[in-house]
Amino acid sequence: MTAISEPGPATTAHGTERPVPPWASVLARAIPLLLLPQCLWRLPFAFGFEMGLDADGAMPSSLWVSVPYVFGLSLITEGLALLSLGLVRGWGEVAPAWLPFIGGKRINPFAAIIPAVLGGLGATAVWAPVLLSWLGVGDAAGFGSGGWRTLAHLCIAPGMLWGPLVLVLTCAYYARRCRPAKRHGGTGGSMAA
């Protein structure tokens, strides 16, 4: 099985061979926005302000370490979240022309499905213990007041949906790319993808 094959037609508004369900397109655009509050909430930690968290010394005391770490983590998080768009756009089916060697060639669906499933499961596994601690199972992080706790939960909770939403998008991508398209005539036949 090769990851790249010959170019294929891209015919829809999103540059995909088959139409993307509107809900999937909205979901893919929403994922980076769901992670944004968490990324912004994290930024004060870079400068030693721990947002009411009872974790003195949890961050490195040197700004030379904490600033690149926190800003880098936020940028990487948003960058990975933006990859969700590949599950609903043409560049998730045909490599962009500017890429050396593979530009313009069709991408094997499993070259996107396998990393997306692993990423979705990984994001779910990372956030599951935090969610369980919020529900009273295990140790939850302590906060100086209920207001700080509420702010943290409001900023972090949307990001917990990242893994499950990527898995849902991956299922839609699989259905669109790997299952035969139904004919519009209602004859029950199918066309090769």
Burial (CB < 10 A; 0-12, 13-18, 19+), residue 178, is: exposed
**Residues in Cβ contact with 11 at an 8 Å cutoff, skipping those fewer than 6 apart:** 17
Domain boundaries, the chain: 12-178
Residue 135's pLDDT band (cuts 50, 70, 90)? confident
Closest CA to 162 of 88, 78, 75, 41: 78
pLDDT at 192: 42
What stretch of H or E contains 190?
strand 190-191
Bigger pLDDT: 49 vs 20: 20
Quick one: average pLDDT of 28-51? 92
Quick one: average pLDDT of 54-82? 83
Quick one: average pLDDT of 106-134? 93
Quick one: average pLDDT of 101-112? 92
Quick one: average pLDDT of 42-70? 79
* Cβ atoms 170, 29 nearer than 8 A: no
Quick one: average pLDDT of 122-136? 89
- pTM as predicted: 0.80
Quick one: average pLDDT of 40-55? 84
